[in-house]
């Protein structure tokens, strides 16, 4: 890419960002848009403009975001949001500290050499741009200047080690401070038990669980909740809730139809058949009331059957103190690994109920199968795309859908379809990929939503690193170079190192596009704004429907973190080869940090709280990116025929040692809550019955509020006279 073309691309992206930021400033002040730009504050019961004044300054939001404390972020967005901001800040710190030495040190070293000029003289067809002269490709082979590359690689590595150590320690302190909060959370008093062995013939699973834990924890055991098969009761409950929503909507429609000239209004009607288009016409309000009356006793009967007859081999155990629950979660309860597996209970809203009863070996097998599927997807993702693309060719469309023949044969339409059908197949597949990875992660038998997000994030990270970073670098996709790699596996480092310089300008433009256009759209929230107003105008009748239309969701860490990791990997790997990319990385992560703070404080609402459990995964993947950077730098310097290239080899070994030390020092406090943290004095012990009730699935909650213990079975109160049976 010529320098003029690069500047044009950069300038266009910058103008788009400025326009989107001005749109944000204007639209966020418009009446009726508060629910799109300040939903977090509204849901916390705060006025969107409380403590602030309306201003036309387009940069006022930056001052507010930067001025907020970390405690403010935790209150608004949770610990996970604060930890995500620590990640962005840490990468920003790595790039700033690296750039302080690399930019003034390496740019003059590269710019004052003549390797590219000599190459052009020997090859009349060769060309190079002004940008190329600022990269390490302009240094001649065997040149002593390559020592600058070696020292630069060491500098970036040492800076990364320092920043990550400080960040891990900081996040660990945040997690322990919040976990030691005197205001206890619901999950502090519960543990999740899986792999319950088969109960004796004279006992139910409920009896067996109660007797087992009462024997092992006689002074602290409070109550148990056996997991049940809720498939049928969930179906009835969802149907009941659907009719309740439909009734509320119909009543609003009926009320709006009453006018002065027509005080009786018009009662809404609908058809009872497929999609409300077929079947007999009925009065919607009467029909919904009849269905609700019909489903209530049906639900109650199915709840009783579920609790008594559909108990499964998993349970939630409740204790009367936080230290007792934490101690139980970290205690080995059985000498057999595949029975009585105990762990800290996730939040009630996080539990994946269908995964809880899955047995130990079933989970292991599922995990290995998913890993194999993901491995094949990472390396051979082009196969399904090619297959889908082949189905979408005009010739196959004529065969599969003969009635389209007259349409697709028209010259104008034929030209458009031939140009865009394959690209559409790729776009659709890539859009579906995060959802597919989420489904695969859930299929492993993972018990909580936050764990699924972490697993999905890891899979997505490896996918985009191999198929975006490596794919673009090595001739468009790994699949193109697969034959040579399989024949000579050792050549992968050489192949990557040789391909990196040629992709430098592409990645410069890519990073600029990501932070200017990507973050501009994130800040302006144009798409959510348009969707909300369309839904409100044409689809929403009740307040609940309006609230559902503007519900902001959470940060979406499953895709957001891997995409940030991709940018970090790109900038790290090019930090020495093309140091000019460092300022672009600094702008990306500084803008990302500011905008993410704004969104955490005002927009996104956490759907769960894992107290920073994502951080060890972020940390390990930053080190993975650093490892790739060190290996590619060794290969790149080696390609320059520099005899001292092996001096880079200790760095990957240091990275592995550093990762091992961090894992041993910090990770145990993330995998389990330390007892010294759990033993902090509680301000007051919550009502244990309310803690228990919070974990009851919605479909099993009693419709009779005054009778929460009307059912026996899986949710019955344990008897003190339960016989002690330990198996």
Q: Which of 28-32, 482-486, 536-540 has the lowest mean pLDDT?
A: 482-486
pLDDT per residue over 83-98, tens digit each? 999 999 999 999 999 9
How many structural domains compose the chain? 3
pLDDT per residue over 703-717, tens digit each? 664 554 545 666 766
pLDDT at residue 260 in the model: 76
Task: Answer yes or no: is pLDDT of 6 > 60.
Answer: yes
pLDDT per residue over 389-404, tens digit each? 555 455 555 565 566 5
CA geometry: angle 692, 694, 700, nearest 5 deg: 95
Look at residue 128 and tell me if it is in a domain: yes
> Which residues 6+ apart lie within 8 Å of 582 measured at CB?
95, 98, 99, 102, 103, 571, 575
Task: Answer yes or no: is pLDDT of 277 > 80.
Answer: no
Task: Answer yes or no: is pLDDT of 420 > 70.
Answer: no
Mean pLDDT of all residues in 208-219: 94
Mean pLDDT of all residues in 191-219: 93
Same domain for 175 and 244? no
Confidence band of 514 (pLDDT split at 50, 70, 90): confident
Q: Which residue has the tokens 């150590």?
A: 165
Hey, which of 9-23, 358-372, 509-523 has the most confident mean pLDDT?
358-372
Look at residue 192 and tell me if it is in a domain: no
What are 344's strand-pairing partners?
191
Give the phi and the psi of residue 124 in degrees, each rounded to 5: -65, -25
pLDDT per residue over 457-470, tens digit each? 999 998 888 777 77
SS3 41: helix
Same domain for 32 and 149? yes
Q: Which of 231-240, 277-286, 507-516, 676-685 has the lowest mean pLDDT?
A: 507-516
Same domain for 517 and 606? yes
Look at residue 286 and tell me if it is in a domain: yes
pLDDT per residue over 565-622, tens digit each? 988 998 998 888 888 889 989 999 999 999 999 999 999 999 999 999 999 999 999 9
Same domain for 20 and 148? yes
Look at residue 606 and tell me if it is in a domain: yes
Same domain for 514 and 375? no
pLDDT at residue 107 in the model: 83
Of 648, 681, 697, the domain-final residue: 648
Same domain for 437 and 550? no
Mean pLDDT of all residues in 660-673: 94
Confidence band of 444 (pLDDT split at 50, 70, 90): very high
Mean pLDDT of all residues in 450-462: 93
pLDDT at residue 235 in the model: 95
Same domain for 112 and 15? yes
Look at residue 424 and tell me if it is in a domain: yes
Hey, which of 137-141, 386-390, 672-676 has the most confident mean pLDDT?
672-676
Q: Which residue has the higher pLDDT, 161 or 260?
A: 161
Q: Which residue has the higher pLDDT, 192 or 57?
A: 192
Q: Which of 124-133, 317-326, 462-471, 691-700 has the lowest mean pLDDT?
A: 124-133
Q: Give percent of the chain above pLDDT 90.
A: 49
pLDDT at residue 217 in the model: 94
Q: Which two tokens stand for residue 696?
A: 């009851």
Task: Answer yes or no: is pLDDT of 529 > 60.
Answer: yes
Measuring CA to CA, how many Å separate 352 from each of 111, 278, 349, 451, 670? 57, 36, 9, 10, 21
Task: Answer yes or no: is pLDDT of 720 > 50.
Answer: no
Same domain for 74 and 137? yes
pLDDT per residue over 531-546, tens digit each? 999 999 888 888 888 9
Q: Is 487 exposed, middle or buried (0-12, 13-18, 19+ CB in 10 A)?
A: exposed
The range of the structural domain enclosing residue 244 comes to 233-302
Confidence band of 125 (pLDDT split at 50, 70, 90): very low
pLDDT at residue 625 in the model: 93
Confidence band of 126 (pLDDT split at 50, 70, 90): very low
Of 284, 302, 320, the domain-final residue: 302
pLDDT per residue over 58-111, tens digit each? 788 898 899 999 999 999 999 999 999 999 999 999 999 999 999 998 888 877
Look at residue 217 and tell me if it is in a domain: no
Task: Answer yes or no: is pLDDT of 723 > 50.
Answer: no
Same domain for 292 and 367? no
For 510, the enclosing helix (H) or strand (E) is helix 504-513
Task: Answer yes or no: is pLDDT of 478 > 50.
Answer: no
pLDDT at residue 94 in the model: 96
Q: Which of 38-47, 320-329, 414-423 has the lowest mean pLDDT?
A: 414-423
Look at residue 162 and tell me if it is in a domain: yes
Same domain for 524 and 636? yes
Q: Could you give the dihedral angle defined by the CA atoms of residues 361, 367, 368 and 374, in that order, rounded to the nearest 10 degrees?
A: 170
pLDDT per residue over 279-338, tens digit each? 788 889 999 999 999 999 999 999 999 999 999 999 999 999 999 999 999 999 999 989
Whole-angstrom distance, CA of residue 508 vs CA of residue 32? 39
Alpha helices in 52-136 (DSSP H): 60-67, 70-111, 115-122
Look at residue 712 and tell me if it is in a domain: no
Q: Which two tokens stand for residue 632?
A: 């590619």
Whole-angstrom distance, CA of residue 86 vs CA of residue 523? 20
pLDDT at residue 643 in the model: 84
Of 615, 648, 681, the domain-final residue: 648
Across the chain, mean pLDDT equals: 83
Same domain for 618 and 527? yes
Same domain for 433 and 540? no
Q: Give percent of the chain above pLDDT 70.
A: 79
């Amino acid at each position: 890419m010529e320098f003029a073309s690069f500047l044009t691309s950069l300038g266009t992206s910058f103008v788009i960002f400025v326009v989107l930021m001005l749109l944000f400033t204007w639209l966020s002040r418009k009446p009726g848009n508060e629910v799109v730009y300040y939903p977090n504050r509204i849901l916390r019961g705060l006025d969107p403009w409380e403590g602030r004044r309306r201003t036309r300054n387009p940069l006022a939001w930056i001052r507010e975001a930067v001025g907020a404390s970390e405690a403010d972020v935790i209150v608004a967005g949770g610990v996970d949001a604060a930890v995500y901001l620590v990640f962005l800040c840490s990468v920003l710190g790595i790039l700033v500290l690296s750039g302080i030495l690399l930019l003034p040190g390496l740019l003059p070293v590269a710019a004052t050499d003549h390797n590219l000029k000599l190459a052009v003289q020997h090859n009349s067809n060769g060309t190079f741009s002004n940008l190329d002269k600022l990269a390490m490709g302009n240094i001649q082979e065997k040149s002593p200047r390559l020592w600058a590359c070696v020292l630069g690689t060491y500098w970036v590595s040492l800076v990364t080690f320092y920043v990550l150590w400080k960040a891990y320690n900081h996040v660990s302190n945040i997690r322990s401070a919040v976990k030691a909060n005197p205001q206890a959370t619901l999950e502090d008093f519960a543990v999740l038990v899986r792999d319950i062995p088969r109960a004796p013939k004279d006992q139910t699973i409920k009896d067996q669980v109660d007797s087992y834990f009462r024997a092992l924890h006689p002074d602290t055991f409070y109550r148990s909740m056996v997991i049940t098969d809720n498939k049928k009761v969930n179906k009835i409950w969802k149907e009941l809730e659907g009719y309740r929503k439909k009734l509320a909507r119909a009543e609003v429609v009926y009320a709006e139809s009453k006018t002065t000239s027509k005080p009786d209004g018009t009662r809404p009607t609908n058809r009872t058949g497929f999609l409300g288009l077929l079947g007999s016409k009925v009065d919607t309000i009467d029909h919904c009331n009849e269905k609700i009356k019909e489903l209530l006793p049906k639900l109650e009967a199915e709840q009783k059957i579920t609790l008594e007859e559909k108990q499964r081999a998993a349970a939630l155990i409740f204790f009367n103190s936080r230290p007792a629950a934490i101690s139980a979660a970290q205690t080995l309860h059985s000498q057999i690994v595949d029975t009585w597996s105990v762990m800290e209970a996730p939040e009630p809203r996080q539990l994946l109920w269908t995964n809880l009863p899955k047995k130990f070996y079933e989970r292991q097998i599922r995990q290995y199968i998913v890993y194999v599927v993901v491995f094949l997807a990472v390396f051979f993702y082009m196969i399904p795309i090619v297959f889908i693309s082949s189905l979408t060719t005009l010739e196959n469309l004529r065969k599969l859908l003969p009635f389209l023949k007259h349409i697709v044969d028209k010259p104008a339409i034929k030209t458009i379809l031939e140009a865009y059908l394959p690209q559409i197949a790729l776009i659709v597949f890539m859009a579906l990929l995060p959802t597919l990875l989420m489904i695969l992660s859930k299929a492993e038998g993972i018990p909580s939503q936050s764990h699924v997000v972490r697993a999905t994030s890891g899979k997505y990270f490896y996918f985009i690193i191999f198929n975006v970073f490596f794919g673009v670098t090595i001739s468009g996709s790994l699949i193109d170079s697969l034959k040579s790699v399989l024949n000579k596996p050792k050549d992968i480092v050489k192949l990557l190192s040789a391909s990196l310089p040629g992709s430098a300008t592409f990645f410069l433009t890519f990073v600029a596009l990501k932070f200017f256009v990507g973050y501009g759209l994130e800040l302006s929230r144009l798409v959510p704004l348009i969707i909300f107003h369309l839904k409100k105008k044409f689809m929403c009748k009740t307040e609940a429907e309006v609230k559902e239309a503007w519900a902001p969701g959470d940060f979406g860490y499953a895709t957001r973190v891997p995409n940030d990791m991709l940018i970090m990997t790109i900038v790290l790997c090019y930090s020495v080869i093309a140091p000019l990319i460092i300022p672009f990385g600094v702008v990306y992560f500084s803008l990302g940090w500011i905008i993410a703070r704004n969104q955490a404080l005002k927009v996104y609402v956490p759907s769960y709280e894992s107290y920073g459990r994502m951080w060890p995964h972020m940390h390990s993947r930053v080190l993975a990116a650093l490892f790739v950077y060190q290996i590619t730098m060794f290969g790149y310097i080696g390609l320059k025929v520099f005899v001292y290239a092996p001096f880079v080899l200790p760095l990957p070994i240091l990275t592995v040692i550093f990762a091992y030390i961090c894992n041993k020092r910090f990770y145990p406090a993330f995998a389990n809550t330390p007892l010294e943290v759990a033993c902090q004095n509680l301000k007051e012990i919550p009502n244990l019955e309310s803690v228990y009730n919070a974990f009851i699935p919605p479909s099993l909650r009693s419709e009779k509020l005054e009778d929460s213990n009307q059912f026996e079975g899986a949710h019955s109160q344990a008897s003190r006279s339960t016989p002690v049976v330990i198996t």
